[in-house]
């Protein structure tokens, strides 16, 4: 007696299941993070001692002074904000600020009274 040969039956495809799978794929694609590839080049003009405005993150909109610049795959800078806190930020997130925007200080070095 010859052995029986197995022949697989084609899978049954439910149209509703394929629509649901497409909807799940679209939802997953909308959650994908966008990566700014220009961050690897950094921003020109950011140097130690320069005055910058932080463009994004916890201190967005605050002015700061660059304390150090760190090179690497994504250049970063350690900045100290006018409120006294410090943080490390990508140089692409720092915008050079003119010194004219700096708050005026009195002759004794103290900040102006509100």
pLDDT at 114 over 80: no
What's the CA gap between 75 and 91, in Å, rounded?
6
Q: What is the pLDDT of residue 107?
A: 54
Closest CA to 90 of 41, 27, 23: 41
Give the pLDDT mean for 26-35. Answer: 78
Q: What is the pLDDT of residue 1?
A: 67
**Residues above pLDDT 70, as percent of the chain:** 85
Q: What is the pLDDT of residues 53-63, one digit of tens each?
A: 999 888 899 99
What's the CA gap between 76 and 60, in Å, rounded?
16
Give the pLDDT mean for 85-107. Answer: 77
Domain ranges of the chain: 37-98
Using 50, 70 and 90 to split pLDDT, how confident is the model at 105?
Answer: low
Longest dimension (CA), the chain: 109
The structure's pTM equals: 0.56
Q: Under CATH, what is the fold of the domain 37-98?
A: SH3 type barrels. (2.30.30)
Q: What is the pLDDT of residue 30?
A: 78
């Amino acid at each position: 007696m010859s052995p029986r040969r197995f022949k697989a039956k084609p899978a049954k495809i439910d149209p509703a299941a394929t629509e649901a799978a497409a909807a799940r794929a679209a939802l997953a694609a909308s959650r994908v993070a966008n990566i700014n590839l220009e961050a690897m080049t950094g921003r020109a003009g950011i140097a130690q001692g320069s005055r910058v405005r932080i463009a994004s993150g916890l201190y967005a909109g605050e002015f700061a002074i660059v304390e150090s610049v760190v090179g690497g795959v994504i250049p970063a800078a350690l900045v100290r904000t006018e409120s006294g806190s410090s943080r490390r930020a990508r140089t692409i997130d720092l915008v050079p600020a003119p010194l004219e925007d700096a708050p005026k200080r009195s002759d004794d070095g103290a900040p102006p009274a509100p």
